[in-house]
Amino acid sequence: MARSLVVAPHRGGGQAQYIDRPVLSKKESSPIAETLDRALTHLQDPLTVDDLAAAAHMSRRTFIRAFRQVTGTTPAAWLRARRLDEVRRRLESTDLPIDQVAAECGFSSPITMRQNFGAAFSTTPSEYRRRFTARSDHRRVPE
């Protein structure tokens, strides 16, 4: 609900403001933009820089250079950030076990996901879920 209203530009706990999904300008199609779109729909897959470069029909080196120019970051950092965005979205909107969230968001193991999540957001996935879940107990439908 807070996302649909005006919210403060800072979240408690040192967390970044919520961004649903970063979007590139659709002014013109480019191999990088198409590859980003494809990666966003396949976050659960084990995507490598070589996979992304091949999808863009570029050499690895050219792809990394073009990717950095478009996004301002490396492919690996961008992919990790998008996977963590998806982890947050699922923690806020589902009751799936942490292990399942990790697998569905493309992390090789729950431990890897927890380490990356903690480094990025200075909290654990479980604590994040408790603090930022989109559902509240009084709105849940009785079973």
At a CB cut-off of 8 Å and minimum separation 6, what does 99 contact?
110
Number of domains in the chain: 1
Q: Is residue 2 part of a domain?
A: no
Mean pLDDT value across the chain = 83
Burial class (CB in 10 A: 0-12, 13-18, 19+), 117: buried
In the block, tokens 């729909």 appear at 41
**Chain segment 24-55, per-residue pLDDT in tens:** 555 557 899 999 999 999 999 999 999 999 99
**Chain segment 7-19, per-residue pLDDT in tens:** 444 455 555 555 4
- Count CB atoms within 10 A of the CB of residue 59: 12
Q: Is residue 5 part of a domain?
A: no
Q: Is residue 49 part of a domain?
A: yes
Q: What CATH number is given to the structural domain containing 60?
A: 1.10.10.60
- Rounded to two decimals, the pTM is 0.74
Q: Is residue 105 part of a domain?
A: yes
Segments forming the whole domain that contains residue 67: 30-134
Q: Is residue 128 part of a domain?
A: yes
**Chain segment 69-115, per-residue pLDDT in tens:** 999 999 999 999 999 999 999 999 999 999 999 999 999 999 999 99
